[in-house]
Structure 1
Amino acid sequence: MWLITVTVPLLPAIILVSSRFRVKVATLCHRALIWALRLVRRRVCVRSTHGFVFTNCTHGKADSVLETFDLYAETHPMLSIGPQIGEVLDEVVRRVCPLRVLELGMHCGYSSVRLLRLLPPAGKLITVELDPITADLGEEIILVAGFKHSQFQVLTCSSAEAIPTLSSVLESNQWTSDGISLVLMDHDPQQYLPDLLALEREELLCPSGCSVLLIKRNHTADDLRGIQDHIRERADCYCIKTDHQFMMEIFYQTQSVSVNNDSKA
């Protein structure tokens, strides 16, 4: 009874507010529903992929783990980049020969395993995954592939939260202060530009050269427009190295590298 007594005098204000903001409220509810559905689908997909790979691969063999991922992808939807993008990723890693790699978006560990198997003995991988279930299952897949905790670190948080802490992570692992030489962005495309700016601000990109790989599967042209505009504005230190159908490679460099160009007579 007391609730009715309190609520009745407020009804005009409640109706006014709800009518004025009903579009915004409906939009927010719609976005929240889409996010929740995506999270549920994502976790179902990750669990299913993990279960198949864990059961059918040869433990301790990175190539077997990747082959099992690819086998699963032939008949099931998968969040990971897959063999087509994976082969392009391999080419970049072999060319760049990075020592420190940052991965934003773990997706059950497929790209993590592809990266780790091509890193030198002193190479290290930091992988960032927002969803704790995906992070745990992805970490298990990395260990199943035969890699040790000393070779990688999983940060379970958003990229926006992780990037400001990376300097201390690098120092705690006694890595050199040259920065990160390869970044793989395969998370929310809306975060690509903010995260690139944050990496610049924190001075985490290797000044002598860092390749930033943007996965653009299922993305529209608008998703990358902001980051392309930034590259044009900062042409002094950025260029587009390669641009494939599903992946763009941006090269960042602020330290001039002397190159001897002998002119021919």
Structure 2
Amino acid sequence: MWLVAVSIPLLPAVLVASTVYGAKVAALCRRLLSWLQRLTRGKVCVRSTHAYVFTNCTHGKVVSVLETFDLYNRTHPHLCVSPQAAAALDEAVRRTRPSLVLELGTHCGYSSVRMLHLLPPGGKLITVEQDPVTADLGEEIILVSNFKHDQFQVLTSSSAEAMPKLRSLIGVNGKRSWAEGPGEGFSLVLMDHDAQQYLPDLLALEREELLNVSGCSILLISRKRGAEDIAGVLGHVRTRAESYCVMSDLQCVVEIFYQKKTRGVSR
């Protein structure tokens, strides 16, 4: 009762404050909620998406897995790549017909399954995921889609730590330890992890000579139009016009193409 008695005289001040500062307080609350969602979305999204897909799809049927992902994505559009980005990814896989694909950021396994479904016979995928829980759940979804371990490998590692491992794994310019035959580098790279790592990882792929010199398409998922991280990659591409070109620059995905020109050969 004493709390009510003390609060009554303060009501006019509270009402005035809510009227004057209500919009600012509401905006602050929205920003705080958005920040909390971004902070917790990673593991929550992976667990909830995995549970839904695993429970509702037909195991062993890749089309059913993708359709279940799409169904869930209708009410949770931030969890998977957008339909526009998915279409761009499909088109890139069909066009390049890559024998070796690198994915940075496994997430729920959606893009992994989508690419594996379209790879040519003998095509391989390496997907890198830093979070162990996410890596395990993503791998389970890939296996549920009826893909085997000789078709893909999940590396639980940061992208920066993965680069030296990738070189030894695919054996660029030498015998591979995972896939048969001489290594030629990645023909397709999908970056959908920490956008701040896009440029450092691209530079590392160059430095480690992990990109197929005959041609490699690199897709960058863009969560925010005009993001500085994407702009940094595009700035680097512009300074390396002899090796790079921008294939497409959509709202949600940017595709750049890398090809190392042979010295002494004019085109």
The TM tier, using the shorter chain, reads 0.7 to 0.9
Among 222, 239, 245, the residue aligned to 1:216: 222
Any residues of structure 2 matched to 1:35-114 within 5 Å, and which? 38=38, 40-114=40-114
Deviation string 1:130-174 (CA, Å, 9 cap, x unpaired) is 111110000000000110011000000100000121111112113
CA distance in 1 between partners of 2:181 and 2:222 (Å): 30
CA distance in 2 between partners of 1:253 and 1:54 (Å): 39
Shift of 1:84: 2.8
Give the RMSD, CA atoms, in angstroms: 2.1
CA contact (8 A) 2:62 2:113 kept: yes
- 2:177 match: 172
Letter in 1 for 2:47: R
Shift of 1:79: 2.5
Letter in 1 for 2:75: T
**Aligned to 1:172, what secondary structure does the other structure show?**
coil
Letter in 2 for 1:251: F
Structure 2 unmatched runs, 5+: 1-33, 171-175
Identity %: 65
Does residue 1:248 correspond to 2:254, yes or no?
yes
CA distance in 2 between partners of 1:151 and 1:111 (Å): 15
CA contact (8 A) 1:45 1:77 kept: no
- 1:231 match: 237
Structure 1 unmatched runs, 5+: 1-33
Q: Which runs of 4+ in 1 moved over 3 A?
A: 34-40
Query: Normalized against structure 2, the TM-score is what?
Result: 0.80
CA distance in 2 between partners of 1:77 and 1:123 (Å): 29
- 1:127 match: 127
**Size of the alignment, in residue pairs?**
226
Shift of 1:45: 1.1
Deviation string 1:160-189 (CA, Å, 9 cap, x unpaired) is 000121111112113432111000000111
CA distance in 1 between partners of 2:131 and 2:248 (Å): 30
CA distance in 2 between partners of 1:35 and 1:106 (Å): 22
Letter in 2 for 1:210: C
Query: Normalized against structure 1, the TM-score is what?
Result: 0.80
CA contact (8 A) 2:225 2:251 kept: no
Among 205, 225, 249, the residue aligned to 2:211: 205
CA contact (8 A) 2:187 2:216 kept: yes
